[in-house]
Structures are given as C-alpha cells and as structure tokens.
Amino acid sequence: EAGVAQSPRYKIIEKRQSVAFWCNPISGHATLYWYQQILGQGPKLLIQFQNNGVVDDSQLPKDRFSAERLKGVDSTLKIQPAKLEDSAVYLCASSLGGVSEKLFFGSGTQLSVL
Amino acid sequence: DQQVKQNSPSLSVQEGRISILNCDYTNSMFDYFLWYKKYPAEGPTFLISISSIKDKNEDGRFTVFLNKSAKHLSLHIVPSQPGDSAVYFCAASDDLSEGSARQLTFGSGTQLTVLP
C-alpha cells in the first residue's frame, strides 16, 4: 500500500515570498490533515478536510495560509506571504475518517524562510 | 496552553534495559491516546494506542499504561534496542468531532537514545 506522498521535501524561500506544498493521501482515505511542526515542538493541526470539505481550520492563519483539497483527493497548502516564523516541517496526514483515530503521515516538507 | 505535555525532552537508555517515556494531559475530555515514533526526515508512524476504558495495552515489546485519575500515561519499551532510537510523541483525542474523524493533539516529543 502506497503511503502519503508529499512534495517538495525541502524548500528555501525569502520572507514575503509565496510557497505551495502538495499532498497525495492514501487511496480511499476520506480525511486529510495538514500539521505544522516547529523545531522542538509537536505537530500542530492547521486544517482538517473530510472528503473535499473543511472540518476544522480554526488554527489556520487565514491571512496568509490557504488550503484546498481537489476532488476530495490531493491537497495543496499555500503560504503567501511567508514570515520567518513559518519555518517548520509541514506534515500531511490521512485517515479512513469516521471514528478511526490512526493517522498516517507523509515525510513532510521542510520549509526554511530566510 | 499545552494540553499534552512531555516534560522530558530526551532520554538515554542502555540496550536491553527498559525505556519509560512519560506523558501528562490536562483535558479531561480526551478518551483515546496514541504514541507515535519519528525518525529523522520521516513522518511520525503509529506505534501503539489505548482507549480510556483500559489501563494497559501491550504489543510485543511496547506497553502503554494509562492512569486516568492522574491524567498520566507512559510507554514502556522492554527490552530497548538501538533501532528504537527516535523521537516519541504522545497524542490524544476527544470525542467531540460529531462523527468526523478525530483530531490529535500532540506533545512536544521525547528523544530516546538507546546505547549499544
């Protein structure tokens, strides 16, 4: 079974530039999550999709972050404009949905904002 | 406000000995707890979980203990192996998602190093 795919693996940008991350979840997984992991901290939920609808985006900084899930499968997370404090690993995860608690994570995108 | 806390950033253990990783939580609505393991440059992978109706769950060398009254859980690894060296995250979820898939709240992680 293929895992959660993310790209790119690494990205270096300057502040005020824009950046986009892509995620392809495990086939058949209805729920998709984007997490932000700052160095030395645990992953923090940014947004949760159920199929192509948003379940929770309460912790997404909507003035600069946006996310969409195309046709209930792939998802993109965008930051525009980036700030220094956005430097982090951005993790995509998926699950079967419903009451399944087990999340499967991708390898993440390491973002450095200079 | 950290609802899930892992107060030990790091732990070193000799190969063959027991590793004990601890986690505390503050949200009494949490009813499901998980441990994830993370190697460098990889995403977290699920290790073991426990429901709040249990106080112990065992899977091979890994055992998770839950003390609801103390809002504390621990992960025991016996015997520890060098390949267990990784960051371990404690995570918790509640039943407030109204039918949608649950969200996980993570602790800050503990770096376990198993020395040969």
Q: pLDDT digit string (tens) for B57-70?
A: 999 999 999 999 99
Tell me, rounded to whole angstroms, the distance of Cα B74 from its chain centroid. Answer: 7
The pLDDT of residue B74: 98
What pLDDT, on a 0 to 100 scale, did the predictor assign at position A96? Answer: 83
Which residues have CB under 8 Å from A8's CB, separation 6+? A21, A109
Decide: helix, strand or coil at residue B82: helix
pLDDT in tens, B81-100: 999 999 999 999 886 655 56
- The DSSP code for B42 is S
Which of A7, A23, A41, A101 is the best substitution to test chain B (most B C-beta atoms within 10 A)? A101
Encoding tokens for residue B12? Answer: 């070193």
Which residues neighbour A4 within 8 Å (Cβ) at sequence distance 6 or greater? A23, A24, A25, A26, A92, A93, A94, A104, A105, A106, B43
Peptide bond into B40 cis (omega under 30): no
In this structure, how many other beta carbons lie within 10 angstroms of the beta carbon of residue A8?
12
Q: What is the predicted pLDDT for the residue at B103?
A: 81
**A–B: how many Cβ contacts below 8 A?**
71
The alpha carbon of residue B43 is apart from the nearest alpha carbon of chain A, in Å, by 4
- Chain-centroid distance, C-alpha A63: 16
CA-based radius of gyration for chain A: 13
Residue A112 is predicted with a pLDDT of 97
Which segments within B39-80 are labelled E, that is strand?
45-51, 56-59, 62-67, 72-77
Give, as one character, the DSSP assignment of residue B95: S
CA distances to B11, B30, B67 from B23, rounded to whole Å, are 13, 13, 10
Residues of chain A with pLDDT under 50: none
Distance from C-alpha of B55 to C-alpha of B5, rounded to nearest angstrom: 19
Point out which residues pair with B11 in neighbouring strands: B112
Cβ distance A4 to B49 less than 8 Å, yes or no, reads no
Q: What is the pLDDT along chain B (116 residues), one digit of tens a residue?
A: 689 999 999 999 999 999 999 999 999 989 899 999 999 989 999 999 999 999 999 999 999 999 999 999 999 999 999 999 999 999 998 866 555 667 889 999 999 999 99
Rounded to a whole number of angstroms, the distance from the CA of A71 to the nearest CA of chain B is: 18
Q: Look up residue A98 and give its two tokens.
A: 């419903």
**Whose CA is closest to B2, among A84, A11, A44, A111?**
A44
pLDDT at B101: 65
- Is the CB of A91 less than 8 angstroms away from the CB of B44? yes
